[in-house]
Structure 1
Amino acid sequence: MHYLNNLLLNTDSYKASHWLQYPPGTDQTFFYVESRGGEYDKTVFFGLQAILKEYLSAPVTHADVDEARDFFAAHGEPFNEAGWRRIVDVHGGRLPLRIRAVPEGSVVPTHQALVTIESTDPDAFWLPSYLETLLLRLWYPVTVATVSWHVKQTLRAYLEKTSDAPDEQLPFKLHDFGARGVSSAESAALGGMAHLVNFQGSDTVSGVLAARRFYGAPMAGFSIPAAEHSTITSWGRDREVDAFRNMLTQFGKPGALLAVVSDSYDIYRAIDEHWGKTLKDEVIRSGATVVVRPDSGDPVEVVHECLVRLDAAFGSTVNGKGYKVLNHVRLIQGDGVNPHSIAAILERITAAGYATDNLAFGMGGALLQHMNRDTQKFALKCSAARIDGQWIDVYKAPATDAGKTSQRGRLALLRHREYGTYKTVTVPNDVPTVEAYPPPAGWAHALETVWENGQLVRDESFDDVRARSQII
């Protein structure tokens, strides 16, 4: 579908008419992206580099302009054919834009400018607005990374309380189960990659591949052999124990991990009889760790009961924090998992004396799909325009919703050198460029130019992104 690769058609219909709507004398515009609040008070900035590489790197061609011209003529919208032809002829199809952004992986409070977009050709002042639809989709990887990051903080707190090795355990405590529940392969790639900023466990192959393609990560995520219901139930109800034994035979090697869904019929019987009696010695002899997976019922109740039964079957040891760690077996909960149920499950098992070491989570729809642009109230707005040589503030302040009041002027994001706090400031009109603005003592510019006139000028590595996300 070629039209999906035409940048000029990767916009909203009404954008095609906007070049005619700015005041006469306009020759430059300035836009910004921010989270205006939402469910979380901090966001993890991630994904812009992938969007820039995927959609803005290929030069616009006259064939693209032809296609867009014909589409909008039939669609009922005016189209700036001359403006786009000029970009092809004068700029070689490279977009005359400057995009500045906070370094990817940064954890930034809401209500701060995360990205700024400026036109750099007076005859293409309308270009940042045209690209709003595409660039604002940044909300998705940022929101996934943010949800994942906040779950990580919950897991970190319980691990620090109950585990002897919290740092070793944490990267694999939340596994991405979301690929089948998203709306598209692109969502799986962007969302799966965003989760990997915080964790290293994933079954979303496209997310791992996206981290390789866009951020140079050779292998950003890992998985283990795991059963699904079809591979267990194909043996029949009467041979469920044989299905479990086959998993041990195929994958049960010293030091290995294997996950076995065990609730196709009766999770408690599976633990008490199959795992806890019939296969117990085989599990121990294998040298592997069997990860039992319940997949139905109330997650808080079921996880607690499964741990108790596994403890009765295999025993446990008490770690240095005074919490029990199961021998030979673990549990993974992937049904009904979201940030709230994770906290509730961990609170229950901690109160019952079990270390967080015993449990991992798989999150699917709640990780990659149960969100929208309003989860963190993302917006991309114009905040300044140069008209007849003078910069003016551009903003909205609706009387019916103060929360939608936008920022005004050319914006700079500053970070305190000592405390790491952020603030967004308006650059005075007499300062020629945002970069030339001198921050107050103790502060430094937090936005860096990542895109200049069709070229990516800062190429982040996935390791650097991950390292920044650790700085709170």
Structure 2
Amino acid sequence: MTLPHLDDQNLILDTDSYKSSHFLQYPPETTRLFSYLESRGGRYPATRFFGLQYLLDRYLTRRVTRENVEEARALIEAHGEPFPYEGWLRVVEVHGGRLPLEIRAVPEGTVVPIHNVLMSVTNTDPELPWLVGWFETMLMRVWYPTTVCTQSYHLREIIRAELEKTSDRAAEELPFKLHDFGSRGVSSRESAGIGGLAHLVNFLGSDTLEALRVARNHYGADVAGFSIPAAEHSTVTSWGQQCEAEAYRNMVRQFGKPGGIFAVVSDSYDLKHAINVHWGETLRREVKESGATLVVRPDSGDPPAMVRLAVNALAAKFGTTTNVLGFRVLKHVRVIQGDGIDETTIRQILQNLTVDGFSAENVAFGMGGALLQKVDRDTQKFAYKASAGIVGGEYRGIYKDPVTDPGKRSKDGVLDLVMENGRMVTRQYRTFDTDFPGSLMRTVYRDGEVLVRDTLERIRGRA
């Protein structure tokens, strides 16, 4: 038996199964619900909010059709759940397929301390309050780009601090110090795109081409990030071990142009030999005369130890200058470590450089799975919870307060984010009828339309 193909664009189906039964569970005469998103804690003390515009633009601007409703009803009822058929028909017939929701959020790129509202959702049709919960599943996914952006931001701050201590070119160097190697390590093309772009809010270096597509289509960025020619093990080892130096010479001749920069993985056989003999003797003159910068990439062994070895060996072979802060800078060469990079190894590598008297500008980092994949919703403990409603014409605060886990107590009220005495705080109203004076949040979506579209350039400026 061949079953009919389900529409990939059917918005109704992008929810958790049990959500379809919730329209029968709210108190009678419920006409309004209000839910909010927050980070309840986690690895970092603040989050850098990003990715909602993509979700809204890509998904919630779609129109629900009668065909979508009929398809969803057939599947969900066969699946074992009741289905709010009349409600979804109302979306089609009364609202023209546009979702009667209002979404407010902090501007993307804003750094917000944990335990504060980041986004809120409410219904604009009193007959369809359950829609607020229906789209929790989709809207909650903003946790992913926000968490990637947050981790990338905090790593940037670690690197920035070391650059400012050891480099007289900190502002120029910083944007290219953490390079995204994560595309092959994520679960989908979409993850690569939105996760890779979340990183590019903070940096300009990336090998995740999909992030550039998402940036252009949804954030008005012509070219969001940049890369350089770089060798991989196959392009080196295909020459054979006896011709390793020729593989390296080919890289110099292909890409060693004045002002250029290119990277060569150099641990295919023996990193020490590659640096001290192939690069440091056989090819040293060609590298210097090319006018380009060679970036040597160690790719195995203990990252802090290998970077330390590489920097010191390259200094001995190519020489250094001393900057105005008194730290040494390699001449003609740099190092990029792209294996085993996380917050711990970044800190160790930077500390080693300082101890050895080298500027942080000598090293860049490549981060793959740890950047785009080694995060989950609990990294920053994201939650989307109902906090207020109108039942029988009366306002009602909604919250949970589990005795077994006080950290999961949710907020109640119609929530807003404001600045008080120089710090961001969440304000709790006891009415839906407010104009949110002094709000840091904006209405970004209403009734099927995206109302605010930020460019990546503007988002990058918020920190």
Q: TM-score, normalised by structure 1?
A: 0.96
Rounded to whole Å, the distance in 2 between the matches of 1:285 and 1:428 is 71
Secondary structure of the residue aligned to 2:462 is helix
Q: Deviations over 1:63-98 (max 9, x none)?
A: 111110111121011111110011000000000011
- The aligned residue for residue 355 of structure 2 is 351
AA partner of residue 161 (structure 1):
K
Answer whether contact 2:49 2:110 (CA < 8 A) is retained: yes
Rounded to whole Å, the distance in 2 between the matches of 1:226 and 1:415 is 46
AA partner of residue 294 (structure 2):
V
Q: Deviations over 1:225-269 (max 9, x none)?
A: 000000000000110100000111111100000000000011110
- The aligned residue for residue 213 of structure 2 is 209
Name which of 265, 280, 284 aligns with 2:288. 284
AA partner of residue 453 (structure 1):
D
Matches within 5 A, 1:442-461: 444-461=438-455
Tell whether 2:144 aligns with 1:140. Answer: yes
Rounded to whole Å, the distance in 1 between the matches of 2:40 and 2:92 is 36
Q: Deviations over 1:144-184 (max 9, x none)?
A: 00000000000000000000110000000000000000011
Displacement of 1:33 in angstroms is 0.2
Answer whether contact 1:4 1:10 (CA < 8 A) is retained: no
- The aligned residue for residue 233 of structure 1 is 237
Secondary structure of the residue aligned to 2:287 is helix
Displacement of 1:208 in angstroms is 1.4
Any unmatched runs of 5+ in structure 1?
Answer: 439-443
Answer whether contact 2:263 2:297 (CA < 8 A) is retained: yes
Answer whether contact 1:427 1:437 (CA < 8 A) is retained: no
Tell whether 2:7 aligns with 1:13. Answer: no
Secondary structure of the residue aligned to 2:410 is coil
Tell whether 2:302 aligns with 1:308. Answer: no
- The aligned residue for residue 412 of structure 2 is 408
Name which of 173, 179, 190 aligns with 1:175. 179
Displacement of 1:3 in angstroms is 3.6
Secondary structure of the residue aligned to 1:297 is coil
Tell whether 2:110 aligns with 1:106. Answer: yes
Tell whether 2:203 aligns with 1:199. Answer: yes
Secondary structure of the residue aligned to 2:418 is strand
Displacement of 1:212 in angstroms is 1.0
Tell whether 2:452 aligns with 1:462. Answer: no
- The aligned residue for residue 323 of structure 2 is 319
- The aligned residue for residue 82 of structure 1 is 86
AA partner of residue 424 (structure 1):
T
Matches within 5 A, 1:22-421: 22-416=26-420, 419=422, 421=423
Answer whether contact 2:327 2:358 (CA < 8 A) is retained: yes
Displacement of 1:127 in angstroms is 0.3
Answer whether contact 1:97 1:117 (CA < 8 A) is retained: yes
Displacement of 1:339 in angstroms is 1.3
Secondary structure of the residue aligned to 2:416 is strand
AA partner of residue 228 (structure 1):
E
Displacement of 1:116 in angstroms is 0.4
CA RMSD across the alignment: 0.9
Secondary structure of the residue aligned to 2:217 is helix
Displacement of 1:428 in angstroms is 2.7
Please list every run of at least 4 consecutive aligned residues from structure 1 whose deviation after the TM superposition is greater than 6 angstroms: none
Rounded to whole Å, the distance in 1 between the matches of 2:348 and 2:226 is 27
Name which of 420, 423, 426 aligns with 2:425. 423
Rounded to whole Å, the distance in 2 between the matches of 1:270 and 1:147 is 34
Rounded to whole Å, the distance in 1 between the matches of 2:211 and 2:419 is 31
AA partner of residue 77 (structure 1):
E
Answer whether contact 2:252 2:290 (CA < 8 A) is retained: yes
Displacement of 1:437 in angstroms is 4.0
Rounded to whole Å, the distance in 1 between the matches of 2:67 and 2:436 is 41
AA partner of residue 27 (structure 2):
P
- Paired-residue identity, %: 54
Q: Deviations over 1:442-471 (max 9, x none)?
A: xx20110000111111111111100003xx
AA partner of residue 429 (structure 2):
V
Displacement of 1:433 in angstroms is 2.4
Answer whether contact 2:395 2:430 (CA < 8 A) is retained: no
AA partner of residue 232 (structure 2):
E
Structure 1 199/437 Cα, relative in aligned 2: closer, same or farther at 3 Å? Answer: closer
Q: TM-score, normalised by structure 2?
A: 0.98
Rounded to whole Å, the distance in 1 between the matches of 2:25 and 2:237 is 63
Rounded to whole Å, the distance in 1 between the matches of 2:143 and 2:176 is 25
